[in-house]
Amino acid sequence: MKSKCLLSCLVAAVAVQANAAEVIVSGDITTSVTWTANNTYNLQGQVFVLAGATITIEPGTIIASSAGGSLAVCRGARIDCEGTAENPIIFTSKADYDTWTPAAPRGVWRASCNEWGNLTIMGRGFVGKYGNGAPSTNTAAPSAGNYSLMEGLTPAGGSDERTRYGGGDDQDDSGSLRYTSFRYGGLVVGLTNELNGLSLGGIGQQTQIDHVEIMNNVDDGIEIWGGKVDLRYFSIWNIGDDSFDLDHGWRGRGQFGLIVQGYSKNAASGSGVCDSMIEIDGAAKSDAQPVSTVSLYNMTLIGQPLSVKRAIKFRDGARLQVNNSIIMDAGEAVVRNDNTDGEATDGQTGYGHNGTLTFNACWTTDFNVYSTVNPFTSNPSPAEAYTSQDGGKLSQITDTVFFNNVNSAAYTTANSVGVFAASNNNVIATASPITSITRGPTQVLTGVAIQPVIGLDPRAANDAVSAVTAPPPNGFYVPVSYRGAFGPSDNWLCGWSAASQYGYVTTPSGCAAPCPADLDSNGSVGGSDLTILLGSWGTPGAADLDFSGSVGGSDLTILLGAWGNCS
């Protein structure tokens, strides 16, 4: 029934696309607005949603922007962007949108990115940003006055607060983001100054984020700086730098995350070809607080086995728990200690600076041991500021399946910090923990060998079917019993995501190719579909299969060509 609904709603979306009016959006949004599915929206340059305004985006709405178009939601503003599995919201480029046809209603995958900007959301949560490169008023200890300037955005001058994020409210509410797909983005502003697929700065825990996807981006997929926002059901695919980049004191939780490494265009690693699957930086400088302290459950990390790229990279005092997950096909190390981010403006202090914990100590220190270096004191207390971890050690990998990480140094650092101690319940598997994966021919792009993933059934298999322990019952985590982002019989990417619409993610039980001519959604094209089409003759509607603006002769030809099947 679910697949029928997906097909039916896709037909409706195809018809809306044919008749949608293009709305040009530029300048600042100062009062609340609603974007509707009967229009498409083309962002022109940097569009800011200013404090006090709310932008509401209806299910099924398409934002197809020209080069340079981008949307930023400022501190004190709100975005309510709630699609559905049947009617997702899609942010993409005008160049991509112009490729959509009846045969490929949401386009086909292209080796491209940097065709528009991104969505940036900025909130008032605490951020750990101090030292060279930070505002001179910032302090190493947590302060509601500390802030940072958002990467990829250009302020008009020193007094322009539109690009600032951070503050003293970890419960800040910036709105909601659900069933939303971001494609072909990542505007390059300048050297090392590029927009990510989705940028989240200082976002509070009351903000709701689930079912989001980044497909092809020139820089990072999702990057989070500070704050305490949680997220679930997120897919990051073919990213040109780090897929999931965590910075400057993010103290959030994540569950059900898929990362598939690849490339978005033939460019240097970091600007089109993948780097790390997860990169986590603690604070800048590393003795500042808050420091990134994160807990992730049910992740599926799929790397590039020939790329010499790592799965998880740690820097500047960061703490990270990865539990009940899958880490496979990493080309280099599954765990790498970079120590610092290598950027002189951040002070390059690394683990152990000024009495902070060393990298190894993070793997042996209990989650509720709080640093006394530049600490939180009250409002919030350390225990109130660091709530993302419910048990275990500050850094750990537990109850996780490792597979096909064949580099000679793949497990060197992991072994040195005890990842494979028996109590951690980790498994180095000999059989794939996912149902199937298909890779295309090897391509050497700027010196990096890439085997693109062109087919994936990500459901749990073999050692991933059952976990030893379940996520903690804290009101956020779904208490599933498997390892990885997908159970043995579920595929939450089905229908709404680019990965599904491009035919990259399939399962025997669903995610069939769209069938626009199946107007009654019964699984095949037959008599009642013809009745529906003839009843719409000469008018717009779901039966407008050729995007002409009305139902007529060629729509009948398309329907009769599909008669008796659903293809």
119 vs 284, higher pLDDT: 119
Looking at residue 85, the DSSP 8-state letter turns out to be S
Structure confidence at residue 428 as a pLDDT band (50, 70, 90): very high
Q: Is the pLDDT of residue 524 over 80?
A: no
297 SS3 class: strand
Mean pLDDT value across residues 272-300: 96
Q: Is the pLDDT of residue 411 over 70?
A: yes
Structure confidence at residue 425 as a pLDDT band (50, 70, 90): very high
Per residue in 183-227, pLDDT (tens digit) is: 999 987 654 567 899 999 999 999 999 999 999 999 999 999 999
468 SS3 class: coil
Q: How far is Cα of residue 442 from the mean position of the Cα atoms in its chain?
A: 25
Q: Would you state the pLDDT for residue 551? A: 80
Q: Would you state the pLDDT for residue 490? A: 86
Q: How far apart (Å, rounded) are the C-alpha atoms in residues 6 and 513?
A: 10
**Among the ranges given (142-151, 154-163, 504-513), the one the predictor scored with the smallest mean pLDDT:** 504-513
Structure confidence at residue 541 as a pLDDT band (50, 70, 90): low
Q: Would you state the pLDDT for residue 284? A: 87
Structure confidence at residue 315 as a pLDDT band (50, 70, 90): very high
Pairing of strands 46-49, 70-73: parallel
Structure confidence at residue 518 as a pLDDT band (50, 70, 90): low
**Among the ranges given (11-20, 51-60, 106-115, 507-516), the one the predictor scored with the smallest mean pLDDT:** 11-20
**Among the ranges given (44-48, 131-135, 449-453, 455-459), the one the predictor scored with the smallest mean pLDDT:** 131-135
Q: Would you state the pLDDT for residue 7? A: 45
- Give percent of the chain with pLDDT exceeding 70: 89
Q: Would you state the pLDDT for residue 268? A: 83
Going by C-alpha positions, the residue among 191, 185, 388, 181 that lies closest to residue 293 is: 388
Q: Is the pLDDT of residue 10 over 50?
A: no
Structure confidence at residue 11 as a pLDDT band (50, 70, 90): very low
**Among the ranges given (177-186, 256-265, 496-505, 533-542), the one the predictor scored with the smallest mean pLDDT:** 533-542
Q: Is the pLDDT of residue 1 over 50?
A: no
Mean pLDDT value across residues 285-290: 94
Per residue in 244-257, pLDDT (tens digit) is: 999 999 999 999 99
Going by C-alpha positions, the residue among 83, 87, 82, 89 that lies closest to residue 64 is: 89
Structure confidence at residue 560 as a pLDDT band (50, 70, 90): confident
Structure tokens belonging to residue 119: 């969505």
Looking at residue 484, the DSSP 8-state letter turns out to be S
In DSSP notation, 233-295 reads: EEEEEEESS-SEEEETT---EEEEEEEE--BSSSS-BTTTB---SEEEE--BSTTSSS--EEE
Q: Would you state the pLDDT for residue 521? A: 52
Mean pLDDT value across residues 345-364: 88
Q: What is the mean pLDDT of the chain?
A: 90
Mean pLDDT value across residues 85-93: 96
Q: Is the pLDDT of residue 531 over 90?
A: no
Q: Would you state the pLDDT for residue 8? A: 43
**Which residue matches tokens 């400088």?**
285
Q: Would you state the pLDDT for residue 474? A: 92
Mean pLDDT value across residues 439-447: 94
- Sign, CA torsion 446/449/452/458: negative
Structure tokens belonging to residue 37: 């599915």
Q: Would you state the pLDDT for residue 19? A: 55
Q: Is the pLDDT of residue 513 over 50?
A: no
Q: Would you state the pLDDT for residue 439? A: 97
Cβ contact 279:287 at 8 Å: no
